[in-house]
Amino acid sequence: MITKIWKSLRGRANRGLATRAKSGKYTTNQLTALVQAIADVSYGGHPFCKSPIVNLATRRLGESLMQVELRVSKDKRNRGEKIIEDGELWNLIQRPNERDQTWSKFVERTVHNMILEGGNRWLLLNARGAAALPAEVMAVPQDKVKTKTAVDEFGFKRPVYHEFVSEGTGRRIPYRDEEVVAVNLPNPLNPIQGLSPLDAGSQSVQQDIAASKWNTSLFKNGAEPGGILKTDQSLTTEQAREILDAWLDRFAGEGKANSTAVMHSGLAYEAVSRSHKDMEFTEQRKWSRDEIGTLLGAFPILYGVVENANRSNSDTQEILWWTITIMPLAFRIAEAFTQGIARRFDPQVECWFDFRQVPVLQKRHLESVEMAKLWWDMGYPVNDINALLDWGLPDTKIGKRSLVPFNLQTAEQLLGEDVEEINEPEGVNSETPEEDADGEGSKSIRSAIDKAAPTESQRTAIWQQFNASWSPLAKVAERKFITYFQKQRDGVLKRLATFKFPDEGKSKSVVTRGTIDRLLAEVLFDLEPEDLSFKVIAQSVWREAAQLGGEQAVEEAGGIAEDFRVDDKAIARLFRQRENKIRDVNKSTFKFLIREMKKGLSEGETAEKIADRVRGVYRQNIGHRKGKVVTPGRALRIARTEVHNVVSGSRKVGFVQAGVDGKSWLTARAGDIRDTHRAAEAATLNNPIGIHEKFQVGADRLDYPGDPSGSAKEIINCRCVVLARRKNESSKAMWNRYGGWKFRAWIDSSLRAAA
């Protein structure tokens, strides 16, 4: 026993106690009590080891922050542009010391020291002067470092030097003030030493521990209410003890509860009842739990309390956990690392935790985007918005300018300083027209010029330029949709291969109605998640198409393409309309699969033949090749429809942003052209309608080619184009404007960003 206790004492703070234990100067009971006392002081008596809620909340704090990457940049305004990812400082962050090894563990230890002790001390080891980076950085609790202070001329205490108390030897190791960096929680009573929230909540922590001990003790005593053994006979102390020991030996303990007792010699047992409240302490423990969680900044969902949780308040609790608990703690650590360590490397650097990749905070980022949109509409430059919202995006040249819609520019910007020199409205020729052959008087400029409308070859040239501008994006969209259909097909075939047919014979034929229903339920895909997946893919295409169409429109109106705002509410409305349309894509596939599967099952086909039917459905979606002949599938039609319709819709939005007041319809010049579309061109090419008026296309009234409010027969595979028309602009003037025009073409978003 002595040897075992002596071994447990080795390595503790007081090695002299271990020596005395080995020499036999302590009795067994004294040593047992001593071991317990040392354990309580060193770690066992700490609330972290005794209170489950303290343990869990503290671990959650460390685990949350250790997942967030520390960034180092040389420009606070453009954090994302000048990030440092190599060099001496970067290497120190990757491996702070030989004990913690990684930055994540180092941060976790720092957080634990701050929460449990109120403060952390970073010891800078082997620093080559006050302006040099240390070789290692050790994180230790503040109570292991004794700070010596002096009063300055203003009466404030200032640290002079520090002493680190070695845990292994008890030796005091001196450190200069510049070799110790303090990271403290606030303590108004002592700014040098931090104050742990557990100190303020010590009563609640002790009550929680005491309640837990009470319940444990109660169950160890048999998990039965206590009782009294009575007898009329006179017993000596020794006899009473023997009877009690025999009773406890027979009936005490949770494994012996509810066993039958046989009483003799006049003995009687009287039970002493306890209330349920005494057994559980439920309300007391809940109150203590919530108070401790509040002190540590933790919310019920984070320490496993879910009885009142739902989707809404769970998300809110997670956001609050990150914003009011983790982020302030991270700021303290990052600021201390910047001021105390990083700026030894470079006075201009700044350290910061990059929370942009935390999933729950990305929702909060979307809210800041809405705020940015409001500021942008008010005329604030993008670079200023970026700095105000601390996005860390690189500045751009155009981001220095305040941009407003074309129709909201001032008269001085549109007409120049000398406004009186402009006598005629834009687009009206001031020269006097010649008389016609009939000798009639001067006719209006509009009627004279309208006689010279664009020729068919001129119209074809305009349309070909437009069609070439968005066709590459349609090809990209087609590949995306084909990949989507292929994955969907593979999933259906995989589930079909594992389906348990009732007949395990060679044919595996299926004949019962119940089996048909079960097959469809287990093999077919769920529409809701598939619609969501397809929408995500389509949205990436829509955004590129909207950017292209809007920039085209603004340029055609005489503006700068980059002035187009893709976050316009009208674009968002356009996307919502497209979402309603694309739901039919998976519904159609679903319907075709049901039809083919039922047909194969009713005819008693084998599983392999049913799989061939599934492949046939998806060949219609994906397309197929036979020899040198390639037959396109639905993916191409869907891609062309989605890209063209969003480009057309965003062109109309761009015209409105740029102040255009009229529009005309120009039909496609290839393939089968609908008569209704030819009629729309004939009605508006020479006589443009207002920008907010509707084109009459058959029985439909469309805002632009591909308008989703139209019927399928008028918008699917449509490749017509809406053209900008100015007030009083003739068809000839429009041709002069569009004749040599090169429509802005689509480029990949990554190339756009690089440019």
Q: Is the distance from CB of 678 to CB of 667 less than 8 angstroms?
A: yes
Let me know: does 187 contact 194? Beta carbons within 8 Å: yes
Measured between alpha carbons, how far is 443 from 479 in angstroms, rounded to an integer? 55
Tell me what the mean pLDDT of segment 175-196 comes to. Answer: 89
Among 88-102, 341-355, 446-460, 573-587, the range scoring the smallest mean pLDDT is 446-460
CB 598 within 8 A of CB 613: no
- Res 32: pLDDT: 45
Q: Which residues contact 555 (CB under 8 A, 6 or more apart)?
A: 561, 744
pLDDT for the residue 643: 92
Of 673, 753, 73, the C-alpha closest to 354 is 73
**Orientation angle between helical segments 15-23 and 28-39, nearest 10 degrees:** 160
| pLDDT 10s digits, 674-710 | 999 999 999 998 889 999 999 999 999 999 999 988 8
102: left (phi over 0), alpha (psi -120 to 50) or beta: beta
Between CA 334 and CA 356 the distance in angstroms is 16
CB-based contact 684:585 (threshold 8 Å): no
Q: Note the pLDDT of residue 161.
A: 81
Please give the Cα distance from 359 to 357 (Å, whole number): 6
Buried b (16+ CB within 10 A) or exposed e, 336-362: bbeebbbbbbeeebbbbbbbeebebbe
| Residue pointed to by tokens 């030097």 | 161
- Helix ranges, 47-125 (H): 47-50, 52-66, 88-94, 103-117
The amino acid sitting at 657 is Q
| Strand 689-690, strand 227-230: pairing | unpaired
d(CA 8, CA 448): 108
The residues with which 666 forms a beta bridge, in sequence order, are 721
> Would you say residue 289 has pLDDT above 80?
no
CB neighbour burial string for 83-121, b if at least 16 within 10 angstroms, e if fewer: ebeeeebeebbeebbeebeebbbbbbbbbbbbbbbbbbb
- Mean pLDDT value of segment 215-223: 58
The enclosing H or E element of 724 equals: strand 721-725
- Taking the alpha carbons at both ends of the chain, their separation in whole angstroms is 77
CA dihedral of 236, 238, 244, 249, whole degrees rounded to 10 = -150
- The angle subtended at Cα 649 by Cα 538 and Cα 721, nearest 5°, is 115
pLDDT at 468 over 70: yes
In degrees to the nearest 10, what's the CA dihedral of 312, 316, 318, 322? 160
Query: What pLDDT score was predicted for residue 435?
Result: 34
How many residues in the chain?
755
pLDDT tens, residue by residue, 551-590: 888 888 877 767 787 777 888 888 888 888 888 898 999 9
3-class SS of residue 539: helix
- Do 54 and 198 contact (CB within 8 A), yes or no? yes
What pLDDT shows up at residue 505?
A: 41
Helix, strand, coil tally for the chain in percent (to 5): 55, 10, 35
Mean pLDDT, residues 429-451: 36
Contacts of 529 (CB under 8 A, 6+ apart): none
Instruction: Give residue 264's pLDDT band: very low, low, confident or very high (50, 70, 90).
Output: low
Instruction: For residues 632-658, give the mean pLDDT.
Output: 90
Model confidence at 282: pLDDT above 80: no
Contact between residue 579 and residue 645 where contact means Cβ atoms under 8 Å apart: no
Beta carbons of 100 and 109 less than 8 angstroms apart: yes
Q: How far, in Å, CA of 603 to CA of 615, rounded?
A: 18
Give 73's pLDDT tier (boundaries 50, 70, 90).
confident
Neighbouring residues of 185: CB distance < 8 A, sequence distance ≥ 6: 114, 115, 118, 119, 194, 195, 196, 197, 332
* pLDDT band (50, 70, 90) for residue 230: confident
Least confident span in 72-76, 113-117, 293-297, 418-422: 418-422
Q: How far apart are CA 588 and CA 531, in angstroms?
A: 12
Cβ atoms of residues 320 and 103 within 8 Å: no
Predicted local distance difference test score (pLDDT) of residue 5: 42
* Highest averaged pLDDT of the listed ranges 292-306, 712-726, 734-748: 712-726
What pLDDT digit, counting tens, does each position of 375-429 carry? 777 777 877 887 777 666 777 766 776 655 444 444 434 334 433 333 333 333 3
**What pLDDT does residue 488 have?**
92
pLDDT for residue 728 is more than 90? no
Return the number of other C-beta atoms located less than 10 Å from residue 664's C-beta: 22
Q: Return the minimum-mean-pLDDT range out of 430-439, 488-497, 522-531.
A: 430-439
- Which one-letter DSSP state was computed for residue 17? H
CA distance 733 to 735: 5
Tell me which of 60-69, 71-80, 203-212, 519-528 is least confident.
Answer: 71-80
Average pLDDT over residues 542-558: 87
CB 642 within 8 A of CB 716: no
Residues 667 and 681: beta-carbon distance below 8 Å:
yes
Amino acid symbol at 80: G
Radius of gyration for the chain, computed over Cα atoms and rounded to the nearest angstrom? 40
Q: How far is CA 483 from CA 379, 490, 539, 564, 717, in A?
A: 42, 11, 15, 31, 21
**Amino acid 375: pLDDT:** 75
As given in the structure block, the two tokens for residue 177 are 């003030």
Q: Give the confidence band of 738 by pLDDT, cuts at 50, 70, 90.
A: confident
Q: CA triplet 143, 147, 151: central angle to 5 degrees? A: 140
Q: What is the DSSP letter of 83?
A: B
C-beta neighbour count of 481 within 10 angstroms: 25
| Span 212-235, average pLDDT | 65
The predicted model gives 359-363 an average pLDDT of 74
3-state secondary structure of 722: strand
**How far is the C-alpha of 75 from the C-alpha of 88, rounded, in Å?**
18
pLDDT in tens, 118-133: 999 999 887 766 667 8
pTM: 0.43
* Mean pLDDT on 158-187: 85
Judge whether residue 481 has pLDDT over 80.
Answer: yes
Q: Residue 183 pairs with which residues in a beta bridge?
A: 120
**What is the DSSP track for 153-220?**
TTS-EEEEEEEEE-TTT--EEEEEGGGEEEEE---TT-TTS---HHHHTHHHHHHHHHHHHHHHHHHH
Q: What is the pLDDT of residue 628?
A: 65
- Give the whole-angstrom CA distance, residue 612 versus residue 130: 75
Q: What confidence score (pLDDT) does residue 632 get?
A: 80
Tell me what pLDDT residue 320 has.
84
Residue 8 has pLDDT above 60, yes or no: no
What are the backbone dihedrals phi and psi of residue 650, each rounded to the nearest 5 degrees, phi first?
-75, -25
| Angle, alpha carbons 605-610-614 (nearest 5°) | 160
Across 586-640, where does the E strand assignment appear?
A: 623-626, 629-632
Which residues, in sequence order, are bridge partners of residue 164? 145, 173
Q: Which pLDDT band, with edges at 50, 70 and 90, does 252 fall under? A: low
